[in-house]
Amino acid sequence: MSTRPNAPLFGKIRVPGDKSISHRALMFGALAVGRTEITGLLEGEDVLATAAALNALGAAAAPAGDGRWIVDGVGVGGLAEPQNLLDLGNSGTSARLLLGILATHRLTAFVTGDASLRRRPMSRVTEPLSRFGAHFLTRDGGRLPLAVTGAAEPIPIEYRLPVPSAQVKSSVLLAGLNTPGATTVIEPQATRDHTERMLRHFGATVTTEPAEGGGKRITVEGYPELAAAPITVPGDISSAAFPLVAALLVPGSEVTIEGVGLNPLRAGLLECLNEMGADVVLENEREEAGEPVADLRARAGALTGADIPAERAPRMIDEYPILAVAAAYARGRTVMRGLAELRVKESDRLTAIATGLDSCGVRVAVDGDTLTVEGNGGPPDGGGLIATQLDHRIAMAFLVLGMGCREPVRIDDGAPIATSFPDFVALINGLGGGIAAAP
């Protein structure tokens, strides 16, 4: 696939449902008693991998037409041993959250994924989950494929997160559901709280209080009666980020993205774009199913470089590839700090961003976990061929980069986009974008 300069982007769109919330809606629906109806579920490959795994574990999750999904739950602790390997494809969230659930079920399961997921560290969850009494047999470095035997008599734990990760936090809290007593996670830096919000929505007791020395203590009471509850999934801000930044960069553009979830622990990108002088307006602000939602209107205009503090990283961890693209068009230097976690995403994103920008004529530097991009206040040269390395966000970010470049920007593999945003190309081209299927 490739992009080249094109006419302004213009129109109103909706982006697919939030990936984090979609995974949780399926999983918590599977652990509830009764039938959960989900509206707006993301039907991307990652979420479909979660649905398939839950079905293999004895729950029943299926589409019910017009974008709705129905999940018939088995109750907390009610999942059954799967007869075959659980293949979670590209999806880190599926793997880490499901391992939390499996860790306190009396069963043995074998879990794997694609080449990207098999490279990613799982010890960050197997280590705390072992403390509940679960047993894991993993490849070297705690990697997939792995086998998990859930604890027959789980012991509740108190766990302090060594890395700011909502997946690790959620994994431990989910293990705590089928464990007697109270399970506590201490997070020094706040990460997305969809798990806490949705567990409460299903009737669990989840308390959050300030932790000694800063951060939060999050406690879930074991053996809750989760009751099926309807869920409306908002649009994914991590997907909206791509058409949003495209509209800012292509001169003359004006795009409205309707119904975007704006959980404050996800919306760090908007803070950055605001500091860079972007014209992004929130309209029609409202609340849907316990999550703040708004329409975002973006108009093209000049951007300036900014210094992005490390403390913001957990609130926008998936948005650095597209922020770096915006920085490449901005006037002056953008410094993005505290990016160590980018090394263990679907690819080593820190290297992928730097290598890709460099191949398109952008001055870029990586120093430890800091990324610096020097923008000229206009489109970079372009002309690079980007290795997407099974990483959907690298693929989409660089297609957006090419939308103003003199030379086309090509990506070697567009297939990973389907993990989170299956209609990305059609949606961008429907706004007037020029993404070509062939190089």
Residues that bind ligand S3P (CB under 6 A): 20, 93, 165-167, 170, 192, 317-318, 341
Residue whose CB is less far from ligand S3P, 170 or 232? 170
Beta carbon of residue 207, minimum distance to ligand S3P (angstroms, whole number): 20
CA distance 418 to 46: 8
Indicate the helix (H) or strand (E) that contains 423: none
Radius of gyration of the chain, Cα coordinates, nearest whole angstrom: 21
Answer whether 98's CB lies under 8 Å from 86's CB. yes
Considering beta carbons, is residue 172 or 276 the nearer one to ligand S3P? 172
Q: 295 vs 318, which CB is nearer to ligand S3P?
A: 318
Distance CA 321, CA 318 (A): 7
- Catalytic hit among 193, 318, 369, 391: 318
Nearer to ligand S3P, 149 or 170 (CB): 170
Least spacing, CB of residue 71 vs ligand S3P, in Å: 18
Q: CB within 8 A of 243, min separation 6: which ones?
A: 9, 13, 15, 255, 257, 427, 428, 431
Give the shortest CB-136-to-ligand S3P separation in angstroms.
18
Active site residue 381: no
Q: Which residues pair with 427 in a beta bridge?
A: none
CA-to-CA distance for 421 and 137, rounded, in angstroms?
33
Nearest to ligand S3P of 161, 386 (CB atom) = 161
Minimum distance from residue 321 beta carbon to ligand S3P (Å): 11
Q: Are strands 35-39 and 68-72 parallel, antiparallel or unpaired?
A: antiparallel
Q: Minimum distance from CB of 162 to ligand S3P (Å)?
A: 12
Amino acid at residue number 229: A
Ranges of beta strands (E only) in 64-120 are 68-72, 86-87, 108-112
Q: What residues are annotated to the active site?
A: 318
